[in-house]
């Protein structure tokens, strides 16, 4: 932007989605937006502002527990309530400076999108020695020469892949799920997720909102009894799916990292999903 690099601050979630209804939805970092848009083969023209898409509201988690862009006071409360034994405590100075940093970043992202027509190009990635042919990342360029490099948040191939729940994370540590081989999770394009949690089958509704994934109405659809370890693992996984409804995630068919979005990583718990081998 104007000849200077701007990197995403901690806790910001800037994203953009090209929708089938002739609009572009996204988030400048902490502020959602939606605009009318004309998408051609290699250009994007943004138009009239529209009301932002609301996140799913069915049985929502408390806003105080799911915010991606906490205030310094919220960050202090998150750190104070953390019980992670090895959590690093940020300084008061770093906390108080974060909100202005977020505001400045959002202003730059918003300015970028509203400086005329955007050209869609690509950034070639460097060739790794002995590796496969390099890929590329999509880029947007405005009429002032500003460039935004994009990364794919949700690879469509996750809908064609069956995963196992391989690990769970608590604070900055992780542990393998002992009955992982007996778990399976499949995400479907119709907004549902089905599978097995180690013993019983389950289903849930899912909503994607940028880098966030909302679970709703998780329920077991069978009521079998299994080995003690399987039932213990299942109870722990199912309890988290019911308790924490808003997850921030990254991943593709090669694996998904998902943690509940509580503002501070020192309090976060989550899962690691691995694709089933040989499927």
Structure tokens at 86: 């090895």
Give me 152's structure tokens.
């794919």
In this structure, the number of other CB atoms found within 10 A of the CB of residue 33 comes to 19
Contact, 43 vs 118, CB < 8 A?
Answer: yes
Residue 58: per-residue pLDDT: 43
Which tokens is 164 given?
């196992």
Contact 152, 252 (CB under 8 A): yes
pLDDT at 253 (0 to 100):
66
Distance, in Å, from the CA atom of 196 to the CA atom of 38, rounded to the nearest integer, reads 42
141 vs 250, higher pLDDT? 141
Region 40-59: mean pLDDT is 78
Say whether pLDDT at 75 is over 50.
no
Distance CA 188, CA 274 (A): 16
Distance CA 209, CA 248 (A): 10
pLDDT digits (tens, 9 = 90+) for 209-251: 777 788 888 999 999 999 999 999 999 999 888 875 567 777 7
């Amino acid at each position: 932007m104007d000849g200077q690099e701007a990197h995403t601050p901690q806790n910001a979630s800037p994203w953009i989605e090209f929708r089938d209804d002739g609009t572009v939805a996204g988030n400048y970092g902490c502020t959602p937006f939606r605009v009318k848009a004309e998408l051609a083969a290699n250009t994007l023209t943004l138009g009239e502002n529209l009301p932002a898409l609301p996140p799913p509201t069915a049985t929502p988690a408390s806003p105080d527990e799911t915010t991606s862009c906490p205030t310094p006071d919220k960050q202090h409360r998150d750190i104070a309530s953390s019980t992670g034994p090895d959590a690093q405590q940020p300084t008061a100075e770093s906390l108080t400076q974060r909100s202005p940093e977020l505001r400045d970043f959002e202003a730059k992202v918003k300015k970028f999108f509203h400086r005329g027509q955007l050209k869609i190009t690509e950034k070639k990635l460097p060739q790794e020695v002995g590796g496969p042919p390099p890929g590329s990342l999509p880029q947007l360029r405005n009429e002032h020469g500003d460039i935004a490099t994009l990364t794919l948040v949700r690879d469509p191939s996750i809908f064609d892949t069956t995963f196992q729940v391989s690990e769970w994370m608590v604070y900055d540590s992780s542990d393998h799920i002992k009955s992982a081989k007996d778990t399976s999770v499949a995400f479907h394009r119709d907004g549902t997720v089905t599978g097995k949690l180690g013993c019983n089958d389950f289903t849930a509704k899912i909503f994607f909102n940028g880098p966030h994934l909302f679970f709703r109405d998780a329920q077991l659809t069978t009521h079998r009894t299994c080995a003690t370890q399987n039932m213990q693992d299942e109870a722990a996984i199912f309890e988290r799916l019911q308790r924490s409804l808003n997850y921030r995630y990254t991943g593709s068919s090669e694996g998904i990292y998902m943690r509940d979005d509580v503002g501070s990583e020192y309090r976060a718990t989550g899962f690691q999903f691995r694709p089933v081998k040989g499927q």
